[in-house]
Amino acid sequence: MYSEDYEKYFYERLSKLRSQKNVSARDMSLSIGQSENYINSIENKRMLPSMMG
């Protein structure tokens, strides 16, 4: 699988799981200590999540 395939899978999986749990992107962002548009930016492919803890 190519890097683009992993990225596409990640974006789709994040969006699907969030929707299944009925959690807004804003609420998810805030619950993990990020700015309110963090998850939305990831789902809209404007950024990748940081892998730093």
User: Do 52 and 11 meet the contact criterion of CB atoms below 8 Å apart?
Assistant: no
What pLDDT, on a 0 to 100 scale, did the predictor assign at position 19?
94
Is residue 32 a part of any domain in this protein?
yes
d(CA 5, CA 38) in angstroms, rounded, equals 22
CA atoms within 13 A of residue 48's CA, in its CB half-sphere? 10
> Which residues of the chain are modeled with pLDDT < 70?
1, 52-53
What pLDDT, on a 0 to 100 scale, did the predictor assign at position 53?
57
Which residue do the tokens 């683009």 mark? 4
What pLDDT, on a 0 to 100 scale, did the predictor assign at position 4?
82
Is residue 3 a part of any domain in this protein?
no
What pLDDT, on a 0 to 100 scale, did the predictor assign at position 48?
83
Domain tally, the chain:
1
Q: What is the pTM of this model?
A: 0.80
Is residue 25 a part of any domain in this protein?
yes
What pLDDT, on a 0 to 100 scale, did the predictor assign at position 50?
78
What pLDDT, on a 0 to 100 scale, did the predictor assign at position 52?
66
